[in-house]
Amino acid sequence: MHWGRARRITALGIGVLVVATACATKTAELNPPGSAGGADWGRCEGVERVSGTTMECTTIEVPADWNTPDNGETMEIALLRARSDTQTDKIGSLVINPGGPGGSGVDFAAYLAETLPAEILSRFDIVGFDPRGVSRSTPVDCISDSDKDAINGFSPDPVSDTDFQALVALQQSAVGACYSAYGDGLARFASAQAAHDIDAIRTAVGDPQLTYLGFSYGTLLGALYAQQNGGNLRAAVLDGAVDPGQDDVATSEGQAAAFELAFDNFATWCENRGTSCELGADPRKYVMDLLAKADASPPVANGRQATSGWILTAVIAALYDESAWPYLSAGLSEANAGNPDLVFQIADGYVGRSATGEYDNSTDAFTAVTCSDDASVQTVEEIRGFQGQWRAKYPMFGAPLATTLLPCALWQAPRAPYPTGPATGGPTIVVVGTKGDPATPYANTAKLAAQLGTGEVLTWEGEGHTAYPKTPCIADAVNGYLIDLTVPPTGTVCPAR
């Protein structure tokens, strides 16, 4: 099973994923590279068109290593620019990142071009980028589809020493393949490098200052940009905060607690539906029993076994978005009856697997970026200890989140941890937090705002991962800031509905 800190579905949402999983590996052919000093925009291929919007794509070159920018080695960064045909009084570009690490900003920008509030689309070009290592940019591509299937389908909580060591061996194979393919160059995919790329993007779109909207892991990139180039920042909204000062163990344990809370909220929602709840009077027991049943005799669809790993991945994915809860309830009930099709659709969308078994490279990028960023490294033995401790504290999610620490414990390439510190010379940054966020716990919001030194917290009392633009209160506050630079009053709290 592959999921862990700050990984996100992106705001496309689970409902879209359920019907569009087969498109997970779709790629676009972009025009030849332009220069970072002034991009040559051209036609986008392989990106779904949006009515009333002009979309252009390009690829820019950036230094492969910003520590030695003049050595001649480069990477390519793919961009998409979406402009409403009714745009008036343009402010500039709104550069967006959907999270991950491993999420495609090119795909996300195309989606946002028809879903962001009209006030934003009328004033900004929407610019998305695939960060270094991701999809259409210079990619990390090193973990085989068979290894990904094996890891995702493995028991999320291997109790016996034999099973635990089998998982260690699988993860060792995956990270070993990455080192064999890229060697010490893997460190070039670290987040601090990707944040520098954003300033090259700002130059490419011709904006004197950056206006930025980052979700989940995208909040880390935005925070790093504010440290590196705060004077070049016009405005930034960071929604679903990553706490840059938190080590991997604390981050994973915090997620375990947050997912437990999110599941409890899902269970309450289901219970309140009465007889319409497919999971009975005790949804937690229902799911735990289903996981145990799948370990003993997994249901099968089209030759695939819906193991406990796949089922729990579907649970995790659906907890990211409250609108996915009906899909989750139905999918678990159907899996319990022997039909895991919906469970597979939800889980496959989360891990980037197509219906034909081909993966995108989001897992490869997630692993390369996360492990390159790691400042603290645990031993396999320590992780085995966390597994037991967290199982007792967080019965459904603790042990699985402990085992997600394994890839970085086994990582062979050099580390390139990002610095933590305040923003420098920039504006007030709006940090948005959701009370029921399972992936980036709400407690991170104030921590990131404090670290930046220029952060202002905006709270949403809702469920799921990230807030903007889910309710009018949140949308109005963020829109006013992005357009007019009006910072929400200190302590602003938006209701769930």
Q: Which of 135, 137, 216, 329 is catalytic?
A: 216
User: What residues contact residue 184 under an 8 Å CB cut-off, 6+ apart?
Assistant: 413, 414
Give the pLDDT confidence of 264-294 residue by residue, as tens digits. 999 999 999 998 899 999 999 999 999 999 9
Q: Specify the CATH number for the domain of residue 191.
A: 3.40.50.1820
Q: Is 89 a catalytic residue?
A: no
User: Where do we find the tokens 């920008």?
Assistant: 109
Number of structural domains (the chain) is 1
pLDDT tens digit sequence for 47-97? 888 999 999 999 999 999 999 999 999 999 999 999 999 999 999 999 999
pLDDT of residue 39: 82
How confident is the model over 294-341, as pLDDT tens digits? 999 999 999 999 999 999 999 999 999 999 999 999 999 999 999 999
Helix (H/G/I), strand (E/B), else coil: 133: strand
Cα gap 6→439, rounded to integer Å:
5
Known catalytic residue at 465: yes
State the DSSP string of 319-388: HT-GGGHHHHHHHHHHHHTT--HHHHHHHHHHHTB-TTS-B-SHHHHHHHHHHHH-SS---HHHHHHHHH
Predicted confidence at residue 376, as pLDDT, reads 84
Both tokens assigned to 358: 């081909």
Range of weakest confidence among 70-74, 134-138, 208-212, 372-376: 372-376
Mean pLDDT of the chain: 93
Look up 2 and say whether it is catalytic: no
The 10s digit of each residue's pLDDT in 378-401 is 999 999 999 999 999 999 999 999
Q: Supply the range of the domain harboring residue 348.
A: 1-497
**pLDDT confidence of 38, banded at 50, 70, 90?**
low
**DSSP result, 422-467:** ---S---EEEEEEEE-SSS-THHHHHHHHHHSSEEEEEEEEESS--
pLDDT tens per residue, range 135-173: 999 999 999 999 999 999 999 999 999 999 999 999 999
Q: Give the phi and the psi of residue 335 in degrees, each rounded to 5.
A: -65, -40
* pLDDT of amino acid 16: 42
Q: Provide the residue type at 4 as one letter.
A: G
Confidence tier at 21 by pLDDT (50, 70, 90): very low
Cβ contact 98:215 at 8 Å: yes
From 2, 84, 374, 465, active-site residue: 465
Question: pLDDT class for 45, splitting at 50, 70, 90?
Answer: confident
Of 207, 243, 374, 437, the active-site residue reads: 437
Q: CA torsion 261→265→266→268, rounded to 10°?
A: 130
